[in-house]
Amino acid sequence: MSEELNIVKDLAVILMASGVFTILSRALKQPLILGYIVAGFLVGPHLQLFSDLGITDTHSVKQWSEIGIIFLLFGLGLEFSFKKLLRVGSAAFITAGINCLGMFVIGIMTGTALGWEMMEAIFLGGMLSMSSTTIIIKAYTEMGLKQKPYAPLVFGILVVEDLIAVLLMVLLSTLAASHRFSGGEMILAMVKLVFFLILWFLVGIYVIPTLLRKFKSYLSEEILLLVSIGMCFGMVTLASSLGFSSSLGAFVMGSILSETMEGERIARLTAPLKDLFGAIFFVSVGMMVDPAIVAKYWLPILIIVLVVVIFMFLFSMLGSSLSGKGLTTSTHTAMSLLQLGEFSFIIAGMGVSLGVLRDFIYPVIITVSVVTTFTTPYVIKAADPMERFLRRHLPKALLSRVDHEDVNQDASSKAEENLWHSLLKSYALRVLLYSVLIIAIAMASYALFPSLVSGLFPSLSKDFVGMIVAVLTLLIMIPFLYGLAISGSSIKRDASRLMKDNPAATWRILALMVLRILIALAFCVSVVLSNVKLSGAAILGVIILFLTIFLVLRVHFHKFASIEDRFFENLNQKEIQARKERPVASSVQRKLSAYDIRSQRVTVPQESVYAGKALREIRIRTESGANIIKILRGKCSILIPSADEVIYPGDVLLAIGTSEQLARFTELMNATVNVDKAEQAEFSLECFVLDDSSFLTGKTLREVKLRDAGCMVVGILRGEEMITNPSGDLRFTTGDGVWIAGEKNSVAWFGGEK
């Protein structure tokens, strides 16, 4: 068989085996990933159960699986949002940070204790550092837990862990390439990674949504699919050329596209490709599992499983408790995170391909992941018994501290603290983002301008060339230096409120403003000094000149704000559209999400027990604690409905409340009338030819009253004429072919004899 047909045969085996075992997984209510891994295990080269049908070219399968990783990370990026990352709150950052750092250290210690080499132990720490986003979201969906009060924290932790995993992949690949641990190199790699992540995101958000919006009329589904995959592979190529992993490029492009108006459409179009290549990747993971190695290393597998379950629970409990969450939320959060996820496979595969992991480690990690994935639903269900156990056995002093909430702080102090927190976060983000853009401009000018100016003016001295380069660089930097030094509207609003409520805050706000101006000046001076040698007095003169130009031309700098306005318009276009389409829900989300108060839409089922009843009769607030603030009925909208308002099937109710209240409200409104299947009418359509003894013969349609019995005459065949929609005065005669539709027993009765 030719090589091309071998590839086709291998893909056929992979996909058919995947189909069979994912069906079995679904039937057994297990994650589909388990089906993929089992399929790969059975058709792989180690077990040889299907020697005639087994995979013949593992190298090509590996290449397909690498494409699968790209699509998996691209799909994950489309579900990721940097804005969501900023909104998840400190609790998610604290819990995810403590969990990842703690498991990383414990993983290194475990690998060392097992006698593994240091590089292998470090990779083990990376593999144990994060849970499975796919498995947890699927488990929460199937178990109906997405509306629970602790669900937002769990999903927030997963978002943070996904970002940490991407960063960790880059750092581990850098470490593996150098084959030695150097703190300076690791910090430099981290700074480089963060710099390019921010730069790609800023440029991508400014350019890509604008282009998609401009050419929207041309973007059919086929063209949009091609364009989005092309951008994904383009970013993969760019990331690889800069020394980063291809997975990072796919993730970044997915996260950029997720912020556009076409993000959901792109996610829908690329989902089949992600599923296809993702299946190939997970099957290739299963192919790496050697049963002989699993049997040989059963003890390390057992030890690592226990380490994952015990220490991930402890670190998650610790992080959630330190972030101010009570015992209930902390316990449910910790019990949800006790498994290894997709990134463990990717990191393990990366370690094998880089030659820093021995072959037996890959199947060991896969086995640990399979075991912990299999137990996930049962562990999540055990959260309530675990909480009751902890409440009975924890010391009362520790229990009271875990469940303690600060209620002594007055409202005004809390409001001022929130304003300061918002202001400082805005300052930090502004300085960071504009600094990245300014540094990128400086790097680009240093690489391009000297040779360009020297080529255009070969007679100029080196100092004159440097001066021209410095001037050109500063001219390009002006909009971004302005943005760095001058506050945006949100910063001005928060600062004004703080100074109004507390005049003493004026000096601190002024100090922050001066600090930003000094940072802008530092960039200017560094650009000049990197191109021209100046004395101290000359440097002072440059600073004074820059300040003078800034003050004189400040009134004209507002034109440059259009760059920033375009960026934020692109960044927030989905929220802006949501405010137009759903003003009530978006307002609640924007203003009350910090207090676990949100809105939710519920459609009244057709068989609802409350259909036709007034809100007063349902007592929604008493039963659930939630409030209905809007009813959508077709194109009509009823805002703040009265207690006498009647609800009907198909109405969309917009309710507001906490996560727990909305969960009760959803359960309440989804209550339907129980209809016994035996009592449901069975439809029948039959034709009866009437004779002298037929019940209908000689009677008029009005006399027999078929509709009262749930039947109707569809048509009457009289000779060669079909009479449709007969009138009530039509009289049935012998020889008529009568078509009757309706309930089966009634149809048979009317078609019988007198």
One DSSP character per residue, 210-262 reads HHHHHTGGG--HHHHHHHHHHHHHHHHHHHHHTT--HHHHHHHHHHHHHTSTT
CA 359 to chain centre: 33
Query: Where in the chain do CATH 1.20.1530.20 domains reside?
Result: 3-387
What's the confidence (pLDDT) of residue 491? 64
Phi, psi of 646 (to 5 degrees): -95, 140
What pLDDT band is residue 311 in, cutting at 50, 70 and 90? very high
Span 566-578, average pLDDT: 69
Residue % of the chain over a pLDDT of 90: 5
What pLDDT band is residue 417 in, cutting at 50, 70 and 90? low
Q: Is the pLDDT of residue 413 over 60?
A: no
Q: Is the pLDDT of residue 405 over 50?
A: no
What's the confidence (pLDDT) of residue 110? 92
Using CB atoms within 10 A of its CB, is residue 41 exposed (0-12), middle (13-18) or buried (19+)? buried
Average pLDDT, the chain: 79
Which CATH number applies to 3-387? 1.20.1530.20
245 or 130, greater pLDDT: 130
- Encode pLDDT of 581-599 as tens digits: 566 555 555 555 555 567 7
What pLDDT band is residue 85 in, cutting at 50, 70 and 90? low
The answer, as to whether pTM is greater than 0.85, is no
Q: Is the pLDDT of residue 208 over 80?
A: yes
- Encode pLDDT of 509-541 as tens digits: 778 778 888 888 888 888 887 877 766 676 677
Q: Which two tokens stand for residue 382?
A: 């055990």
Q: Which two tokens stand for residue 77?
A: 């990026």
Q: For residue 136, list its beta bridge partners.
A: none
CATH class of the domain whose range is 681-750: alpha beta
579 or 123, greater pLDDT: 123
Q: Is the pLDDT of residue 99 over 50?
A: yes
What's the confidence (pLDDT) of residue 678? 43
Question: Kind of pairing, strands 721-724 and 652-657?
Answer: unpaired
Residue % of the chain over a pLDDT of 70: 80
- Encode pLDDT of 674-733 as tens digits: 655 445 567 888 888 888 888 888 888 888 888 888 888 888 888 888 888 788 888 888
What's the confidence (pLDDT) of residue 58? 65
Q: Is the pLDDT of residue 106 over 90?
A: yes
- Encode pLDDT of 462-483 as tens digits: 777 888 888 888 878 877 887 7
Q: Is the pLDDT of residue 142 over 70?
A: no
343: left (phi over 0), alpha (psi -120 to 50) or beta: alpha
What's the confidence (pLDDT) of residue 307? 92
Span 311-318, average pLDDT: 90
DSSP 403: T
Which CATH number applies to 585-669? 3.30.70.1450
Q: Is the pLDDT of residue 182 over 60?
A: no
What pLDDT band is residue 181 in, cutting at 50, 70 and 90? low
One DSSP character per residue, 255-308 reads HHHHTSTTHHHHHHHHHHHHHHHHHHHHHHHHHT--HHHHHHTHHHHHHHHHHH
What's the confidence (pLDDT) of residue 86? 64
What's the confidence (pLDDT) of residue 411? 46
What's the confidence (pLDDT) of residue 230? 92
Phi, psi of 723 (to 5 degrees): -95, 110
Span 221-229, average pLDDT: 90
Query: Where in the chain do CATH 3.30.70.1450 domains reside?
Result: 585-669, 681-750
Could you give the CA distance from residue 241 to residue 39 in angstroms, rounded to a whole number?
35
